[in-house]
Amino acid sequence: MRRVFVIFAVWVGLSVSPMPSPAATAVSISVFHNDLAPYGRWVNVSPYGSAWIPTRVSSGWRPYTNGYWAYTDYGWSWVSYEPFGNDVYHYGRWLHDPYQGWMWIPGTQWAPAWVAWQESDDYVGWAPLPPDSRWGSSGLVYSVSSIATPSWVFVQRPYFLNRHITTRIVPVTRNVTVLRTTRDVTHFDVVKGKPANRGIDVAHVQSTSGKKINKTYTSQRQNVRTQKRVQPAHANHGERRTTVQKRNETTVASRQDQRAPTQKYSGKRQHGSAEKGQKNNAGKGKGGNN
């Protein structure tokens, strides 16, 4: 029997307020086609429709491996070194096909990273959420069993904040063993009407890495006429905690207005701006954190 995890964020001491309206802008799905065309090819995949396959990647490549993790006001955000990263790591879902490899299924809901999390005292792991995971008015619903074992990316805890984390990834052949020792800690909540990826406890990361984490601020604003993405502003801020309650069948509380999951990839959609400023910031100078 498949175990479906629904994770509810509990707003301690507060009553649940009405769901805020999403701060997104409707744009054509062609924005993704134009952005990603130089780096891969588009195919039609049933039942999802259009899917993008990266072609300028090495053999054995996996999503969420060439970059690093940053903690933002929307939780853990993946900062990619890849030229296509602003689209495929903040929107949509990933699917692995045994013949064609990894393919990205477009989506128009922004998040700092669409991943599930596993952790233990020794390891931290993440995996791209598959197409059957849904984000809607009830939150995030996903099945742990739908994430294939090779999809998980693991590192030893002290290296989780490494700016060149690709050099610290545990060989995929060890995933079966590591998965047995880790537990699911996937946790999304909502900030200003958008998904926030909390997952790994910040205090624990700081204690095991020996590094202080300064929260980065994120923006997804967009100019409708020009489709110009605005770079994020950065500032330090204290950590904000939430309490999580897990049940056998639970959903990540989102309180987020969203189109029904059956409305797939056609016509105009809601779209927030991607974080193109993060990639620029990651490459500035040699004085950054490593």
The whole-number pLDDT of residue 240 equals 32
Distance from C-alpha of 119 to C-alpha of 155, rounded to nearest angstrom: 10
From residue 65, give the alpha-carbon distance in Å to each of 42, 171, 205: 22, 12, 19
Long-range contacts of 69-73 (CB under 8 A, 24+ apart): 69/113, 69/160, 69/161, 69/165, 70/216, 70/278, 71/202, 71/205, 71/213, 71/214, 71/215, 71/216, 72/112, 72/215, 72/216, 72/217, 72/218, 73/191, 73/196, 73/215, 73/216, 73/217, 73/218, 73/237
The whole-number pLDDT of residue 234 equals 35
The whole-number pLDDT of residue 28 equals 61
Q: Name the residue with tokens 């290296």.
A: 159
Q: Let me know: does 110 contact 194? Beta carbons within 8 Å.
A: yes
Distance from C-alpha of 136 to C-alpha of 263, rounded to nearest angstrom: 12
The whole-number pLDDT of residue 206 equals 82
**Comparing 56-60, 147-151, 230-234, which segment has the lowest mean pLDDT?**
230-234
Average pLDDT over residues 19-47: 74
Question: Does the N-terminal peptide bond of residue 171 adopt cis geometry, omega within 30 degrees of 0?
Answer: no
Contacts for 72 with CB less than 8 Å, ≥ 6 apart: 112, 215, 216, 217, 218
Based on the number of CB atoms within 10 Å of its own CB, is 16 exposed (0-12), middle (13-18) or buried (19 or more)? exposed
Average pLDDT over residues 177-187: 95
Query: Which pLDDT band, with edges at 50, 70 and 90, does 204 fall under?
Result: confident
Q: Is the pLDDT of residue 192 over 90?
A: no
Highest mean pLDDT among 16-25, 81-90, 232-241: 81-90
Q: Is the pLDDT of residue 114 over 90?
A: yes
Average pLDDT over residues 121-125: 95
Q: Let me know: does 244 contact 9? Beta carbons within 8 Å.
A: yes
The whole-number pLDDT of residue 248 equals 31
Average pLDDT over residues 152-168: 94
Based on the number of CB atoms within 10 Å of its own CB, is 58 exposed (0-12), middle (13-18) or buried (19 or more)? exposed
**Comparing 6-20, 60-74, 218-232, which segment has the lowest mean pLDDT?**
6-20
Question: Would you kindly state where each structural domain of the chain is located, as residue ranges?
Answer: 4-282
Distance in angstroms between the alpha carbons of the first and the last residue of the chain = 43
Q: 3-state DSSP call for residue 173?
A: helix
The whole-number pLDDT of residue 43 equals 96
- Taken as a whole, the chain contains a residue count of 290
User: Could you give the angle at the alpha carbon of 190 between the alpha carbons of 189 and 191, nearest 5°?
Assistant: 135
Query: Which pLDDT band, with edges at 50, 70 and 90, does 123 fall under?
Result: very high
Query: Which pLDDT band, with edges at 50, 70 and 90, does 267 fall under?
Result: very low
Q: Is the pLDDT of residue 200 over 90?
A: no
Share of the chain above pLDDT 90, in %: 49
For residues 219 and 108, the model is more confident at 108
Distance from C-alpha of 114 to C-alpha of 111, rounded to nearest angstrom: 6
Distance from C-alpha of 154 to C-alpha of 160, rounded to nearest angstrom: 9
Q: Let me know: does 133 contact 111? Beta carbons within 8 Å.
A: no
β-pair type (115-119, 101-105):
unpaired
Backbone angles phi, psi at 38, to 5 degrees: -70, -15
Nearest to 175 by CA among 227, 238, 125, 221: 125
Average pLDDT over residues 181-198: 92
Share of the chain above pLDDT 70, in %: 65
